[in-house]
Amino acid sequence: MPVRWLFAVPAQLLLCAAVIGCSTIRVDDRRSPEGTTPGTSASARSVDQTARAPAVSAQGVTVPPVTRRADDARALLDRLLPRGVDERDGWAVDILTAFGALQIPPDAERLCAVIAVIEQESSFVADPPVPGLARIAWQEIDRRRERYGIPKLVLDLALGRSSPDGRSYRERVDALRTEKQMSLLYEEMIAELPGGRTLFAGYNPVRTGGPMQVGIEFAEEQVRRKPYPYPRSGGVRAELFTRRGGVYFGVASLLDYPVNYGEMIYRFADFNAGRYSSRNAAFQDAVVRLSGRQLALDGDLLRYREGVALSEVSDSQRAVIALQGRLQMAPGEIGRDLRLEKSAAFEKTPLYLRLYALADAASGGRRPRETLPQIALSSPKISRRLTTEWFARRVDGRYRSCLARSRQEG
């Protein structure tokens, strides 16, 4: 997944000038509270809703029915896991523990959805390496040094200090391979470099982690909403970088919320862009067709900054307000309903129901209620154009291969 770098380097604290961080773009990070980060808090599906939710049908693929007995679920998962996965038993236990804790039925389709995301994000490596991490880090450090006018000699002196493990900070930057290492290094720089704690106030810019690349803000919100099934000795951040924690938070992010999607691919898009982004992108498309205005189909109906909705009117909101006469709704009522865009409740609002009634009538048929968001992904390590749609289709291909294993081996 793409990596975005976040730095904070005031010039007046020169000895703390070189601090690095990275995060995978998600819902929770660059977009709304539901996302990548995605930001992060989400309206959780209730236990009863989760248990009753029908499995998403995979077109053209016959899969086994839902299995609830632990031995049946384990046998099914053994068939679904790709060949060659190291520590196969450990992955199976962690996946099924997450399903059990969240009371999600461990059927073939849901298990394959999780397997597909793990394959895409980490290839079943609990703390996956980031290719060229040290090189990218130094490029960013030097860029920030130049931006703030910090002499290279001062930077070298700061990074030449010994760190708690005996190596200099420079040596540890050179050796960086994973986000877990990056996060630990950053925490130590906060604590050990002169002025580090005052400068950063405990803020660590590594925003995602683990084998499913889940946002740390999402994980922190998840443990506030539901009991975490494991002992926590090192905090939520430390747990996210473990296999068991990364899988638990990834399963929660991917599956533990109610949707009315016809295919699993839209959950994969939400996983990358933020919960309900696929539904909201379809809503934006319906607005475009009714208003004639051009909108980015990004799944954000309001404007956000660091996961917080802004009071500034968004393009989508402005286009909907232009339809207020046909909707028979005042701007305040429209804004009230749009504030529910990151929850299942949005689909029950007068705005959602009236707009689709108009869109369906204008089209002479039912407009789609989900579509893949059109979002470009960017990072220092990406040399070609990647999008949320690319991510969703890539994971969907792995998902269908997993379902095929179920059919062939079952």
Structure confidence by residue, pLDDT tens digits, 234-283 = 889 889 999 999 999 999 999 999 999 999 999 999 999 999 999 999 99
What pLDDT is attached to residue 130?
80
What pLDDT is attached to residue 180?
86
What pLDDT is attached to residue 134?
85
Q: Please indicate, yes or no, whether residues 14 and 161 belong to a single structural domain of this protein.
A: yes
pLDDT at 40 over 50: no
What pLDDT is attached to residue 67?
43
Within-domain flag for 104: no
State mean pLDDT over 393-398: 98
Q: Please indicate, yes or no, whether residues 136 and 20 belong to a single structural domain of this protein.
A: yes
Lowest mean pLDDT among 25-39, 106-120, 184-198: 25-39
Within-domain flag for 7: yes
What pLDDT is attached to residue 206?
67
**Residue type for 291, please?**
S
What pLDDT is attached to residue 196?
52
215: three-class secondary structure by DSSP: strand
Confidence of residue 407 (pLDDT cuts 50, 70, 90): confident
Structure tokens at 239: 């747990």
pLDDT tens digits for range 340-380: 999 999 999 999 999 999 999 999 999 999 999 999 986 65
Q: Please indicate, yes or no, whether residues 23 and 148 belong to a single structural domain of this protein.
A: yes
Within-domain flag for 148: yes
pLDDT at 198 over 80: no
Within-domain flag for 303: yes
Q: Please indicate, yes or no, whether residues 15 and 161 belong to a single structural domain of this protein.
A: yes
Q: Which are the contacts of 248, defined by CB distance < 8 A and separation ≥ 6? A: 94, 97, 98, 101, 102, 228, 229, 230
What pLDDT is attached to residue 13?
37
Half-sphere exposure of 244 (CA within 13 A, CB side): 15
Q: Please indicate, yes or no, whether residues 17 and 148 belong to a single structural domain of this protein.
A: yes
What pLDDT is attached to residue 66?
43
Lowest mean pLDDT among 101-110, 129-138, 383-392: 129-138
In the listed set 160, 185, 206, which residue is the last one of a domain according to the structure?
206
**Helical segments of 161-212, H only:** 169-174, 179-192, 196-200
What pLDDT is attached to residue 132?
81
Angle subtended at Cα 183 by Cα 178 and Cα 189, rounded to the nearest 5 degrees? 125
Most confident of 69-73, 167-171, 185-189, 201-205: 167-171
In the listed set 152, 187, 206, which residue is the last one of a domain according to the structure?
206
What pLDDT is attached to residue 228?
96
State mean pLDDT over 60-64: 39
Q: Please indicate, yes or no, whether residues 174 and 291 belong to a single structural domain of this protein.
A: no
Higher pLDDT, 226 or 179: 226
For residue 88, count other CB atoms closer than 10 A to its CB.
15
pLDDT tens digits for range 225-247: 999 999 987 889 889 999 999 99
**Structural domain of residue 13, as residue ranges?**
3-28+130-206
Split into its structural domains, the chain has a count of: 2
Higher pLDDT, 49 or 304: 304
Within-domain flag for 60: no
Q: Please indicate, yes or no, whether residues 16 and 138 belong to a single structural domain of this protein.
A: yes
State mean pLDDT over 159-163: 87
Sequence length of the chain is: 410
Q: Is the pTM of this model over 0.85?
A: no
Q: Please indicate, yes or no, whether residues 169 and 288 belong to a single structural domain of this protein.
A: no
* Average pLDDT of the chain to the nearest whole number: 81
Within-domain flag for 120: no
Lowest mean pLDDT among 78-82, 135-139, 232-236, 239-243: 135-139
Structure tokens at 61: 């693929």
Within-domain flag for 321: yes
Higher pLDDT, 257 or 151: 257
State mean pLDDT over 72-100: 96
pLDDT at 152 over 60: yes
What pLDDT is attached to residue 154?
77
pLDDT at 333 over 80: yes
In the listed set 151, 172, 206, which residue is the last one of a domain according to the structure?
206
Q: Secondary structure of the chain: what % helix, strand, coil (to 5)?
A: 50, 5, 40
Q: Please indicate, yes or no, whether residues 275 and 358 belong to a single structural domain of this protein.
A: yes
Within-domain flag for 357: yes
129: three-class secondary structure by DSSP: strand
